[in-house]
Chain A
């Protein structure tokens, strides 16, 4: 996430300030709506580089406050439901990585204005792998993993 942009939005105060700037043609709506996609992080080939890309160095292992609901064995590797709940106070973001995917960083969610540290989505996994979650809360980062097995069935699938 581009920190410069987030700072801008915060200091812009009420949404109306930004809206005025948009109306006056000073900022194109697309620039406000579309955050800059974190290319470096998403195209990183390994977990360490992906973590670096999202500004995380050594997240503390925490399996107690980060709950990952994901299957033990994925029915279909293209549609794997993953639900993450962070019980850590002041959770500001949740990132989901699939360690063995060619590009591990899969999704990065930033929460604000009452959004809880919770997200549910469906992801693609190329093979059996750890699904790694990184949570930013209170200025620190934490991580937990869950292994999800991916098989190719012989008859049903």
Chain B
């Protein structure tokens, strides 16, 4: 009976349409309950470990490497970029409250004046533009990747606290949710196919990570050295289901990140991290 209920719940989450009138908070609670039922032994806070939670062997390697991660020199480069003043003498820190300490959890947010979702990376570029500098390309890991890897580390441990307030913000959130549950690509998978329905199972030798906690640990240093922002991963994932990816910083990915991050509200961010 429980299995059937779970299947029905999973299917309804898959279509999303059934919860079309639910608030973001109701959506999030529904996801929490789904995972609590499916994995009664996983603690809420441990969802930040993603797929690692399904393999003690993999989690142990992660902890061992995170004890003294190999990407320190890249973080130093990011730090230098962050602290070097612009041509006008100002620094990135001047664009953010508290010098950008413990702020990353508030991103993305919906900017009423601009009428769109603003991600952390967009805020970095807005800061550059406001200070007379060229914007970084969102997919340039040598610039955007390293600056965010360092600056987001100033928010390490902060609880994800994305807000969805107002009709326009809600509409953007709903767009992101629709994207998450929509099938795409030659393999015809939605994000939910793997990251809701098949969580804990293995595909191509990999455990599938849950939606819950997924947005908390970015950027990642894949293999210990390759900086990867969340939207870089969206591009990779879309390619992996053989769908044409959207551009990083596009409205589609920004709305997706908005929904995606909201789902991880309350979880402590781990920024940056090592991943395989």
Contact = CB atoms under 8 A, between A and B. Distances in A.
Question: Do any CB atoms of chain A lie under 8 A from CB atoms of chain B in the complex?
Answer: yes
A152 B65 CA distance: 19
A75 B206 contact: no
Nearest to B51: A156
Nearest to A156: B206
B223 A76 contact: yes
B178 interface: no
Interface string A20-48: 00000000000000000000000000000
A24 to B, nearest CB: 38
Contacts of A79: 65, 70, 223-224
A153 B276 contact: yes
A78 B206 CA distance: 17
A-B pairs, top 5 by smallest CB distance, nearest first, are: A154-B204, A75-B276, A156-B206, A81-B64, A76-B276
A154 B237 CA distance: 11
Contacts of A154: 203-206, 240
A114 B32 CA distance: 52
A120 to B, nearest CB: 8
A73 B55 CA distance: 10
B181 interface: no
A81 B65 contact: yes
Interface string B121-150: 000000000000000000000000000000
Q: Which of B57, B58, B64, B207 has the most CB of A within 10 A?
A: B64
Contact of A75 (B61, B237, B240): B61
A17 interface: no
A78 B65 CA distance: 12
Interface string B47-65: 0000100010110111011
A72 interface: yes
Given A71-B60, A81-B64, A76 B203 contact: no
A75 B62 contact: yes
Contact of A153 (B60, B205, B209): B205
Given A155-B240, A156-B51, A156-B276, A81 B206 contact: no
Contact of B276 (A72, A122, A157): A157
Interface residues of A, number: 19
A153 to B, nearest CB: 4
Do most interface residues of chain A lie in helix, strand or loop, or is the interface mixed?
Answer: loop
Nearest to A83: B64
Contacts of B159: none
B275 interface: yes
29 contacts: A71-B58, A73-B57, A73-B58, A75-B58, A75-B61, A75-B276, A76-B223, A76-B276, A78-B224, A79-B65, A79-B70, A79-B223, A81-B65, A122-B70, A151-B205, A153-B205, A153-B206, A154-B203, A154-B204, A154-B206, A155-B204, A155-B206, A155-B237, A156-B51, A156-B206, A156-B207, A156-B209, A156-B276, A157-B206
Interface in B213-266: 222-224, 237, 240
B223 A78 contact: yes
A96 interface: no
B61 A156 contact: no
Interface in B28-53: 51
A155 B61 contact: no
Given A154-B204, A156-B51, 20 more contacts: A71-B60, A72-B57, A73-B57, A75-B62, A79-B65, A81-B61, A81-B64, A81-B65, A83-B64, A151-B205, A153-B204, A154-B203, A154-B205, A154-B206, A155-B203, A155-B204, A155-B206, A155-B237, A155-B240, A157-B223
Contacts of A76: 223-224, 276
Which of A74, A151, A153, A156 has most B Cβ within 10 Å? A156
A71 B56 CA distance: 10
Among A78, A79, A155, find the residue whose CB has the most chain B CB atoms closer than 10 A: A155
